[in-house]
Every structure is written in C-alpha cells, then in structure tokens.
Structure 1
C-alpha cells in the first residue's frame, strides 16, 4: 500500500542520515565535515517536507470523506490509521539507544503527534455526525455506534500511549546523552593519561577513578541494551567494547611505564652505589698518597728506584688516559659502560701492584679537562679524581727528581775535571766548532766575562752530557774568589792550552 511504501522510504531515509553522520564523524577536514552536515540537513528537511505533505494529503482525504457524507469510509479510515499507529506506541517497543537515534525517534514522534492533533477535529466531527445518525433505530445506525465506540476507545488508548512514548523518549534521550557524555569524557581522559604517562607513572587514585568510570559506562550501557532499539544495539556494544579496549591499552602501558621507571630507579641506585664506591676508593688512594708523602725519601739509589716503580703502578699515565677516555665515554654511553672502565682500571692496579713490574711512562696533560659532568655526583667524582691525579703526578715528579739527584751525587763523587774536559773537547770537535767561538756565543755582551749562571745554563742547554753539579764544579775551578771575572777567556785558554800540551806530548 501507499502507507507501507512511505514507511519503507522513511526507513531508507533514516539509514541515509545515519550514514551521513558516520561519515561526518570520520571526516578529516572541517570543510568535509561542514559539507556532510549540510547534505544530511538537506536530506532531513526534504524528507520532513515530503512526509508533511503526505500526511496533510491523507488528512484532507479523510476530511473529504467525512464532509461528503461518507461517514462509514471516514470512520474506517480513522480506525485503520489508529490501528496501525497503536502497535508502534506500545510500552514494550524499545526506544533507548544512541543519542542520534533517540533524537530521530523524538522527531518522528513529534510528527506523529501533529498528525494525531490534526485528526482530533475529525474525531469530534465524526462523533457528532454518528450521534445524529444514531437517533434513528436503523441497523446501520447501531453498527455505526459500535464502530464509533471502538474508535473512541482506540483514540483514547493511542493518546495515552503517545504521551507515555513521549515521556519514555525524553528519558531515553537523557540516558543517551549521559552515556555519550561519559563515554567521550572517559576517552578524552584516557588521552590525557597517555600524555601523562610519557613523563611518569599513573597515580593509584587516578587508576581507581578510571576503573570506576569504566564500570559506570558498562552499567549504563547494559541498562540501555536492556531496552535498546534494534538499530542501536551494535553501536552501544561497540562503544562499550571501545572504552574497555582503550582502558586495557592504557592500563598495559601504565604497567610497562611503571616497570621501566622502577628499572631506571634501580639502575640509578646501583649507579649511585658504584659512584660512592669509586669515591671511597679515590679517597683511600688519596689518603695513602698523603701518608707516603710524609715519609722521608731514602738516600739509597735502589730503594728510590723501587719507590718509583711502586708508585708507577698506581699512576701509570696510560691508565690515566684510559680513565680519561672512560669518563668521556660516560657522557655519550651508558653508565654501566663507564663503570666497566673504572673497574677494569682498578683490577689493573691490583694486578700490577702484585707483580711490581710497571714502568713509568711519559706524562700527559691533566685528564678530564674538557669533560663537563652533567650531575653533581659526577662533578664530585671528576673533581676528586683530578685531585688524586695531581697528587700522584706530583709525587712521581718528586720521586724522579730525588732519584736523579742521587744519581748525580753518585756520579759527582768520582768527578775528574780532566775527564770532563776531554769529553767536552771531543763533543766540540764533533760539532766542528772552535772553543773560542762557542764561548763567544755564550758571552753575548762581548765583554770577555761569563757569569756562573750564563756558563752553566748555556752548557746544560747545549745538550752536552753533564749535570748541574759538574758544571758548578767546573765553573768554580776557573772562578776567582767567587766572582765572575774573565771566565770565558780564562776557561777557553785553559782548555785549549791543556789540549795543545796533550797533542805535543803525543808528538814526542
């Protein structure tokens, strides 16, 4: 029938509107969203216009039947309309669901209420006409009276059902809006929680609030499903599933984040303990060096050499270089890698200390000069290590100077000027220079005089194999009353004359 076709088109129009709203929610750009919204509004307005015209035409046809005196046809048409409308208004017809669907049901019910209101005048007119006809005792009049009573009863029932459906729809809309609000609020909250989890853990009270919100969503969703319109069942179940899935995702991430933070805290605690052990080790080494500095240095060459060997075990420059690299690596690599370098260095010290075979290597610049520690504890570690390095390096220098002084004293005990002079003349000859030219180069002001300091400094700087003790003795041999008088010429003549005498003796 025409009424059935209209209902089918109504269902088709509703599906098209739902599809448009779904596309509108998935649209990426504001332009697409606005365009889809305009299309859905245009479709809804067009359908409302057509439905209104169809209802208006149906109403006019019913009035035409009534005013033309065809009371029976008018009564049957109204009764048929009420008969078809009554099941749709029944109390057991589900009206709950998503917000958009409930809103559509409310809009459709408003249209029905307008149609119901328009038919109220027809009912009153028909009721008067039938009352006038029933004054006669004809069989048709009696039948019309029965039909009118049935129509009035159905009319009252439909009016009550319409009011009841209006109340149920309003409650369903309130419930749908509440469900939509808590669902989207919950999902937005989860999004905020995810941002928080990037920088920390989820507080216990926050997790409890999320759990309570999820339970409320599930409870309200199940309540809606208990009286849900068939077209909204899938949507409501989908929202319940989405919220549960998102909550489980965030909960899993929160647990993983908590585990990572706990692992990091454990690693930081281990690092702190390791740094403290290193600081204790450095303090112990520094204390040991300070105690050794208080001891008198031996005047024996062998004992002094042993001290240098022992000290080199603790301050070998190649190991300082390794430590330097290890701290630089620390600024680029993990803490565990740096600590491995420290531990290897300590093990090396222990092994070398037992062997006692380490040899001092050339000194290197102060380590860690370009290192910029990022934490206070690392700054303390670097500072104490530098202090230890300076102490060790200073002791090594003092031990080497002491040993060198002992060697010079031992060599000077057997000093012979003739041997020294011979070596010096040979060295001059090797340079293919004359002795007077050498001493003139020392006498820069050309006054024929060379001071002790000028003489000793120049010879030592010339790389001639001698030392300050020997040079002091040589200078004293040619000095007069400790005054620098004519040392240059006197020394050169003395050396030359003795060399000439030696040659003449060899000639004879």
Structure 2
C-alpha cells in the first residue's frame, strides 16, 4: 500500500510523477493498438489446424491483460493520491485534481466522437470505455468524501456534482453507441469473411483450361458453368450488403478504421467485377468451341472428299511418263506448282482438326469426371480425324515427289537446250572474267580442289567444286568442259592441262566482233604479269593486284608501282629508274630467291677458295669500291677511298650513257665489263642519275672518257655496271623523263645500235616507236620530243621478260 507523508512537497512530486507516467502510457497506446491488430491478422491467416494459431491468440491475450493491469494500477494510484490529499486536509488540491480528470473524461466521452468502424477498432473502443467506467467507479468514493467534508464551498460542490453527473450520463450514452457499433461491425465482418472465402474458390474455377475436342464434353462444361453462374448470382447480395454497410460506417467512422473499411470495400468490389468478367468470357469460349466442333464435323468430311480426289489424280499422273518436250514439261510443272499450293493451303485446317492427335492425352477423370473403363473407346480420338490426317500425309508426300521429278526433268531439258549453243571459248572467257571480278587467280581453284596434292582432279571433284564456287554454270557444261580438259581420256585432269586450257587467247571471238584485232598495252601487261606471277609456288602466293591503268601493287607491300610496255618488254618503275618485270620478280618474289640468300652466297664464296676472314676492307675493285645490293636487287658501290673521288665521278657520269632499257645485250660490252669490274657503275637507274647529276654540277672540267670499246654499250641487256660513290656535296637535281628512253645526242661519237634480234612473236598493224631528235638536258641526256612509226610493214613485238645475261 502506498504511504503518503503529510508533507506538501512530497505530494506535489508524487502528483507530478503520476501525471508524467499517465502521459507516457497514453503515448504507448497507438503501438498497443497496432500490435493487437497485427496479431489478430496473423491468427486469421492461419488455418484452423495450424498450431501457431493458438500461440498467436495467447500472445494477444497476454498483451491485453498486461495493458489493462497497468491502467488499473495507475487508476488506483491516482485514487490513493486523492484520498491522501483529503485526509491530510488539502481538500482544495484534491478537488482541483478531481475536476481536471472529470473534464478530460467529459471531452473523451463527447457525443460527437466517432464510434463506428471495423470489428477490431470497435473492440478497442469497447475496452477503452470499460477502463473509463472502472475509473469512474473508483473515483466515486472520493466524490462522496468531498461532499461529506465541511470545509468545501457550496459552489465547488455544485460544480463537482454537475460535472460528475454529466460524465456518468455521457458514459451511458457511449456504452449504448458502442453496443450498436459492435453489432454493425460484426455483421460487416461476417459478410466480408464470406466473400473472402468464396472469391478464391470461384477464381480457381474460372482458371484458363484447354477445352476438349469432344462435343459431349463441351456440353457438360456448359451445363456446369451455368450452375456456377447461378451461384454467382446468389453471392451478389453479399457484395451489395458489404457496399451498403461500408458506406454507412464511413459516415461516422473512427479515424483508425477508415483505411481498413475502404480496403475491404475496394478489394471485394474489384475482385467481384473481375470474376463476373471472367465468367462471361468463359461462357463465350464454351459457346464458340461448341459451334466450332459442330462445324468441324462437316469440314472433316469435305477435306476427306478433296483428299481422296487428289490422291486419285496424283496416282494417275505418276503412272504416266514425263515427256521430253521442254514446253510440255514446263506447262506440267506450272500446273503442279499451283496444285501443290492448294494442298499447302489445306494444311492449316488439317492441323487444327488433328491437333488432338499430336497433343498429350489428358487424364479423363481429372477435370471432367469421366467414368471410362479399361479398353473403352476414347471419344477424343475421332476416327474420321485420324483418317484425314493419314490421307493428307500421303497426298503431301506424293505431291512433293511429283514436284521434284518435274523439277529435275525441267532442269535437265534446260541444260540440254542451253548446251546446243555451248561454246568453250565463251565459257572460258566468262570464267576468266568471273575470277577477275572475284580477285582470284586461275590456279586457286585447282589448288583448293586438289586435296591430296597429287596434281590431278577427277570429274566429280571438278564438277562439284565448280558448282560450289558460285560460278554460273551447270553440270552438263561442266562435263563437256572436263572432256575438253581431259584430252587423253584418262578420267582425270592434270594441272598442266587445266592451266593450258584456261590460258587467255590473244585473239578472242568477242574481240574480233568488236572490231579490235589487237590487244591494248594494258591487256598485254596484264597477261604478262599474270603469266609470270602464276609461277609462284609459295604457301602464301606472291600476287599482283591491278589498282588502275598502268599501276600495280605487288606482294604484301602497299607501294604502288608504275608498269609500262616498252620495246616488247614489260618494265616496272623502281625508285628513279626502270627494271624488267623478270628482274623485279627475282628481287621480290620469295620463290625466286633460291641461291641468292646471304648464307648461300657466303657458302659459294668459301667453296671458291675466298675465305671470309681475308677479304680486303677497301673492296675488291681497282679503285677500292665495296659493292652491295640495294632494296631493288641491284649492286651499288660504296667508296672507301677519298683520293679517287674525281676519277670515280667522271667514270660514273660516263656510265650513265651505257644504260639501255631495250633489254638486248652486247657480247663485247659484257666481256669488257667482266674484265674491268671497277669500270662504270652497278647501281640502279635512280642512283646513276644522282651521281651523274652530282658530277656534272661539281666538276667544271669535262670528264675524261675511258679508253674502252663501248660501241655496243647501248645494247646491254641489264644495267650491271659498277660505279663509285665518293662523298659529295648536296647536288642539284635535274628533272628527267618518267618513261625509260635510250640516250641519244647529236654530239655522241657512237652510232645508234642496230635493232636487236629476238625470237618473240610479232604482230602486224603496230610499229615500234623511234626517236627523231629531242632536247638535251644539263646532265647530258636527250629527251625525245616526237615519236614516229616505222614502215607500214614493220611489226610490233609482243611482251617478253628478258633474263639477265649469265
């Protein structure tokens, strides 16, 4: 029992502590309300047999009991505090405390306070009102003691009595309202619970299911769905009652219950509308399925009749042989393509009617409650539908076979028709143009098909390879071409026969028809380059790509070379000079480097008795020159003695007049050069030009001409002349003609060389240009200003690639 001493400060501190604790307890009330509601929701979600249902209920009851116990203790403490104030003679303080509490209770029990809501909210309000009534009963003794005390004024007692009566009256009114609200909340909760149990069952009943293909089963489903719709109409009253009660509750609903009442109303109405829509959709599906099944029976009979006629027609046509006339076969093929398309158009209906055959069989008693017995006929498998499926497969296969036979016959006749006008030269020209467009070489196809690398191709390898390559041709033409290649009738084709047969002709029929009797320079250059480059046997062949007219790119380098046709010889521009095509390929093609590598040259020198360790540091020449090969494959000399600079410069200037690009050599000059290896220069045309220009600009005195017989130096076949490269000042360059031309001068002491003799075949209609004068450059070269053709009977030599003299 609480003991209160007769001290004023002590009473004040106890009253303050009591008031503070009551405020804290009031602040915990929302949490208490949320916890009890959550516990009840979890309990409702559990099944009736779930053991956790009782555990949750026990936890909720314990929480309520403890909460009520705390409120009761606080109420008793407040009453004890008031009694202690009265017994201690502090009646005014006790009266003031009692009036404050009565005013708070009156505000809480006002008639305008909302008392409607869901069941949980109403139960909470009922419990709060019961606690309020208990406090009123506990304070009744305090009020009676104050009335009995004689030291209280009459006005204070009248106010206390009036307030007390008013609070008791409001408590009775609140109790009656809560009783009606509880009844309405229970009714609302009941109808909501009914719909919460019905809606999941109805939704599961309306789940999408595959409809059967049997008419009787569809009728049974329609009858079952009608009963379900009748059940829906019976539950319409519950939905209407929920809507009416929810609207009435929301008119005077407690703030804590507004959200829950609206949720119950919205979710119930939404699910109900969706349920009605799905029920209507299912009814329409069942009616459509019934109509389709009734119409499919007639469609099955119609398709069976059409398939029977098609089967008879195809059987009759199969017995008749295919004619050999091209027009007749083409007409038959077009007619059968239309007939085959008609069969394909029936495929959709046949598949739709026979999909039950290919579908997985359903368990008959799973959804529809069939009472089928063992070995009883399954009504889902219609025998007419099975017959239709089998017959359609037979007709479709026969139609495909007939179409394939007609297609093969038509292709054979077209090949024979086109082979009547077959010309191998035209075919060869088409193939050469095709590989030119594809940027391939003639040997690429043979190497790709020759898997074993024996140099032979069989007929099948040739025909299949050509068809797979994408070249427009047919088997008939390819067999004829193979017979042309296989001249010995050995049933296989050799590499040499293939290359020889596809070699481009000099005079094609197409060229004769166009009026061109001779090939142009560009065509001659292209033929000669293809002929020489095709001799490469590397794994990655050395190729030549034509970029434009007279411009080619050789090998993997990105440099573009100028290529010209001069004096029946194909010349390639290298640096500042010109070399023959054969010399250029010997320098750049890896296949032609055999015997000219550094290791092989060293081995040959050691074999000849020239030890590497005893070579002269000043060179092997008379004037101390050391020669080496530059990037174009020509020997260039490097001076090792400065004292011989003047003589070497004069000799290099004279050596420039010894270069002739005609490709014809002279025996006397070759003999002189072998005897005097240090005379002249063996550098490229570009280096010779630089040295000659340098010597003419540095020395003011005229150079001395060596006393050597150079009458035939213009006919040297390759510029293998050595020269010195003494260090010089920066020379002044003089432009020269880009086209390689032989030097001629009015002051030359040597007569012009006679025309060279060659075994290259010639042709009529073209003449070799000759030079008749020109202007002389400062370096001593003469640039031609005009070119005239020779006699009308002169012949022009075809391109050839001269080789270096040995």
For the residue of structure 1 that corresponds to 2:378, the secondary structure is: coil
Residues 102, 163 of structure 2: 8 Å contact kept? yes
1:193-342 pair list within 5 angstroms? 193-197=202-206, 200-201=224-225, 203-274=228-299, 334-335=352-353
For the residue of structure 2 that corresponds to 1:93, the secondary structure is: coil
1:344-363 pair list within 5 angstroms? none
Structure 2 CA distance for aligned equivalents of residues 99 and 338 of structure 1: 54
Match of 1:13 in 2: 32
How far has the Cα of 1:197 moved from its partner?
3.5
How far has the Cα of 1:219 moved from its partner?
1.4
Change (3 A) 1:266 1:116: same
Structure with the largest fraction of helix: 1
Structure 2 CA distance for aligned equivalents of residues 72 and 242 of structure 1: 57
Structure 1 CA distance for aligned equivalents of residues 32 and 300 of structure 2: 74
How far has the Cα of 1:37 moved from its partner?
3.1
Structure 2 CA distance for aligned equivalents of residues 337 and 67 of structure 1: 98
The CA RMSD measured in Å over matched residues stands at 3.9
Match of 1:167 among 159, 176, 187: 176
Change (3 A) 1:185 1:150: same
Change (3 A) 1:84 1:278: same
Give the TM-score, by structure 1 length.
Answer: 0.52
For the residue of structure 1 that corresponds to 2:28, the secondary structure is: helix
How far has the Cα of 1:338 moved from its partner?
8.9
Match of 1:84 in 2: 104
Alignment of 1:127 onto 2:151: no
How far has the Cα of 1:275 moved from its partner?
5.9
Match of 1:65 among 85, 97, 119: 85
How far has the Cα of 1:25 moved from its partner?
4.2
Structure 2 CA distance for aligned equivalents of residues 209 and 251 of structure 1: 13
Match of 2:124 in 1: 104
Change (3 A) 1:241 1:333: same
Give the TM-score, by structure 2 length.
Answer: 0.34
How far has the Cα of 1:26 moved from its partner?
4.9
CA deviation map 1:240-280 (0-9, x unaligned): 1110121122123212211221221111221344467799x
Structure 2 CA distance for aligned equivalents of residues 6 and 218 of structure 1: 37
Residues 221, 236 of structure 1: 8 Å contact kept? yes
How far has the Cα of 1:335 moved from its partner?
2.9
Residues 117, 254 of structure 2: 8 Å contact kept? yes
Change (3 A) 1:372 1:273: farther
Number of residue equivalences = 304
How far has the Cα of 1:333 moved from its partner?
7.1
How far has the Cα of 1:193 moved from its partner?
2.4
Structure 2 CA distance for aligned equivalents of residues 334 and 373 of structure 1: 22
Match of 1:459 in 2: none
Change (3 A) 1:36 1:69: same
Q: Which has the larger radius of gyration?
A: 2
* Larger RCO of the pair (alpha carbons < 8 Å, separation 6+): 1
For the residue of structure 2 that corresponds to 1:12, the secondary structure is: helix
How far has the Cα of 1:182 moved from its partner?
0.3
Match of 1:146 in 2: 155
Match of 2:379 among 372, 375, 396: 375
Match of 1:4 among 14, 17, 23: 23
Match of 1:325 in 2: none
How far has the Cα of 1:93 moved from its partner?
0.7
How far has the Cα of 1:58 moved from its partner?
0.7
How far has the Cα of 1:36 moved from its partner?
3.3
CA deviation map 1:391-438 (0-9, x unaligned): xxxxxxxxxxxxxxxxxxxxxxxxxxxxxxxxxxxxxxxxxxxxxxxx
Structure 2 CA distance for aligned equivalents of residues 377 and 42 of structure 1: 65
Residues 373, 379 of structure 1: 8 Å contact kept? no
1:471-490 pair list within 5 angstroms? none
Alignment of 1:49 onto 2:69: yes
Q: Which runs of 5+ in 2 are unaligned?
A: 1-18, 208-220, 320-346, 358-374, 388-806
